[in-house]
């Protein structure tokens, strides 16, 4: 029986810092990422792919606002923009993964599932926005935007500028999880929980409604992986291993970390919010709830023995 792996791609896997975001750039990035993840199929995995949408949903929001200001088009709320991004990114990933499979003479269906996730409307995250979305700005640009906006911005921990931050509530219930698991275990590739999922809540009994937020895709992926009994969670980022004292002369990469040590490092402030900290929390969640391992690494390390940082129970 094949193993089941959940791979959580960041939104930057398709739209990288410094790129304009053309369809050609995003297609090439998706193709390159697809070639790397296919190595897991070679290693006996069925796979579910999840993805972030930070750059894309921010750009969709900006286009939405421009359409309102220039043409009077009605603005859509953030949950609708997340839904847009699921369809957009799912389409690009499906197409480019198909190209990779055909290149390798592999025959599998690729299915994108638009995924709603239940959150609580009173989640404290709504009072403390932390999730970065959209493009990077200079401090001068942020100051100018803030003259006519109530948006909040935070400085990027890697020094790439400033980004808008929005609420990121805790994911509670994932829709269609039984179908996601069944299709994946049948050998098909499933793309789900795009952008962390579309946040929704019960405005009254038996009536769902979207809410203005972006769920952290790593935590949503960890929840999904634990609920579909995945054998491993792969959290993909832009560094090959988790590091202590990142980007300093004392930098130390980690090969294997127990959840106790991971919690200690979090408490000591080794991992930046909006960057590595959410990934560590997601890995801890998956390991605690499944008893299986999580891997945090760069996509180029997939399929390499000893690649990445392994988060384990003890």
- Point out the catalytic residue in the list 29, 34, 53, 217: 217
Whether 187 is catalytic: no
Q: Are 177 and 224 in contact (CB under 8 A)?
A: yes
Beta strands in 171-220 (DSSP E): 173-174, 189-191, 198-204, 207-210
Whether 279 is catalytic: yes
Whether 170 is catalytic: no
- Point out the catalytic residue in the list 54, 58, 279, 308: 279
- Point out the catalytic residue in the list 131, 164, 177, 232: 131
**Which residue's structure tokens are 């909040």?**
152
Distance between CA atoms of residues 207 and 176, nearest Å: 17
> Which residues fall within 8 angstroms of residue 220, CB to CB, at 6 or more apart?
50, 117, 171, 174, 193, 196, 197
* H or E segment and range at residue 110: strand 110-112
- Point out the catalytic residue in the list 5, 11, 197, 274: 11
Q: Are 224 and 6 in contact (CB under 8 A)?
A: yes
Whether 21 is catalytic: no
- Point out the catalytic residue in the list 2, 3, 12, 155: 12
Dig out the tokens for 128 from the structure.
């403390």
Closest to 236 measured CA to CA, from 82, 86, 11:
11
Q: Please tell me what DSSP assigns to residue 205.
A: T
Whether 131 is catalytic: yes
> Which residues fall within 8 angstroms of residue 256, CB to CB, at 6 or more apart?
309, 310, 312
Active-site residue set: 11-12, 131, 217, 279
């Amino acid at each position: 029986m094949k193993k089941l792996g959940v791979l959580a791609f960041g939104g930057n896997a398709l739209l990288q810092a410094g790129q304009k975001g053309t369809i050609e750039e995003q297609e090439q990035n998706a193709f390159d990422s697809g070639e790397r993840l296919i190595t897991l199929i070679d290693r006996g995995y069925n796979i579910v792919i999840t993805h972030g949408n930070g750059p894309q949903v921010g750009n969709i929001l900006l286009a939405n606002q421009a359409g309102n200001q220039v043409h009077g088009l009605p603005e859509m709320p953030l949950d609708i923009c997340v839904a847009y991004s699921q369809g957009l990114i799912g389409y690009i990933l499906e197409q480019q993964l198909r190209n990779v499979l055909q290149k390798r003479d592999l025959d599998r269906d690729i299915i994108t599932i638009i995924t709603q996730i239940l959150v609580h409307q009173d989640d404290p995250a709504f009072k403390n926005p932390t999730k970065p979305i959209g493009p990077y700005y200079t401090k001068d640009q942020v100051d100018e935007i803030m003259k006519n906006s109530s948006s909040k911005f935070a400085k990027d921990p890697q020094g790439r500028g400033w980004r808008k931050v929005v609420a990121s509530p805790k994911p509670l219930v994932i829709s269609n999880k039984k179908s996601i698991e069944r299709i994946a275990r049948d050998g098909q590739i499933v793309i789900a929980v795009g952008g962390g999922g579309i946040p929704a809540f019960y405005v009254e009994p038996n009536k769902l409604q979207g809410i203005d937020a972006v769920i952290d895709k790593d935590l949503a992926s960890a929840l999904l992986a634990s609920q579909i009994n995945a054998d491993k969670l792969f959290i993909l980022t832009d560094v090959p291993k988790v590091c202590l004292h990142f980007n300093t002369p004392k930098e130390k990469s980690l090969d294997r970390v127990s959840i106790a040590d991971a919690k200690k490092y979090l408490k000591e402030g080794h991992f930046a919010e909006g960057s590595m900290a959410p990934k560590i929390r997601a890995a801890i969640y998956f390991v605690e709830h499944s008893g299986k391992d999580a891997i945090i690494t760069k996509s180029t390390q997939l399929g390499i023995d000893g690649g990445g940082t392994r988060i384990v129970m003890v």
